Structure 1
């Protein structure tokens, strides 16, 4: 049996940075979890590819624009690089819930974008890490293994419990990375 793909796909808000029910609308409001930046770097250093799949409906809602989002993603990349890591690709959905797109999670479009951008045949066996059920559902049709973190909206998601029977649950991204790197030694 071939070894699983060494790819970890992360949701952004609530996994990499603090989330807000009022949306993360500016670079000043984008506050990463320090342990998440380090965790991404550790994955990279261990030979894992890291990508991000994030719904950003605040763009469709007129709360911020794609230039502001790009600034947040540049800062994310800068911090991860400074820590010794790399993010291979960031896919985002700028649409609102009623826009009828194919990229808004729980649909798999963002993950398909990542697959295509990284020139992969499949995402089977990769990891999808999120703080909401829709994050995990986006990876299901593509064979991603689901991981729920308790940060962000993770505790609320866990309390609902629906659809999480196959998900591994960790306190945060760093705890997942600790576990994953132990498994793959």
Structure 2
């Protein structure tokens, strides 16, 4: 099985320091929906793994998050792609849970649900916590410069050797070029 894990805010859609609190605030980044569609057509299973502390902060409720994810799923499907799952951590940063990135709990949940070893599975993020969680879970972390990625990179908060891409579209292009249908490893590129 070819599997890729994607962070949501800053990778698939625009991020906001005020959080994405409604379906109307969920705005896809240029090329991201088409990139997911390309992965789907190439036989990849795409799973979203996202911190959503706005729930714990009372900024939106579970029904609103479901509506945001329905909008994302509909947009991906309209572009010709599909999502195999959306995993979210509803906790705040001080709740001490295992599922909030940089902890790897959400990744472990995906592994259990799909009955798969995550060793080498590409995991795409835009922040140091995404990279740390992916690394701890045994995935191959990949950074995009969208969202918080460019700033984190400029501030030296991304470990050396992590492959870096302008955006999800560039990453997927490299991934599909370097991983023929019979293979599933991460693309090789570093900053």
TM-score (norm 1): 0.94
Instruction: Say yes or no: does 1:114 pair with 2:110.
Output: yes
Q: What are the within-5 Å matches in structure 2 for residues 1-185 of structure 1?
A: 6-120=2-116, 122-185=117-180
* Structural RMSD (CA): 1.1
For 1:127 and 1:101, the matched residues in 2 are separated by: 24
For 1:59 and 1:141, the matched residues in 2 are separated by: 25
Q: Deviations over 1:31-60 (max 9, x none)?
A: 111410110010011011110110000110
Larger deviation, residues 135-144 vs 48-57: 135-144
Q: Deviations over 1:146-176 (max 9, x none)?
A: 1110101111111122342131000000000
Question: 1:44 touches 1:86 (CA, 8 Å); kept in 2?
Answer: yes
For 1:30 and 1:84, the matched residues in 2 are separated by: 19
Listed as ranges, the gaps of 5+ residues in structure 2 are 181-191
Partner SS state of residue 165, structure 1: coil
Listed as ranges, the gaps of 5+ residues in structure 1 are none
For 1:163 and 1:91, the matched residues in 2 are separated by: 24
Partner SS state of residue 31, structure 2: helix
Offset, 1:145: 0.8
For 1:45 and 1:34, the matched residues in 2 are separated by: 19
Offset, 1:111: 0.7
Question: 1:146 touches 1:166 (CA, 8 Å); kept in 2?
Answer: no
The total of aligned residue pairs comes to 180
Question: 1:149 touches 1:171 (CA, 8 Å); kept in 2?
Answer: yes
For 1:74 and 1:31, the matched residues in 2 are separated by: 13
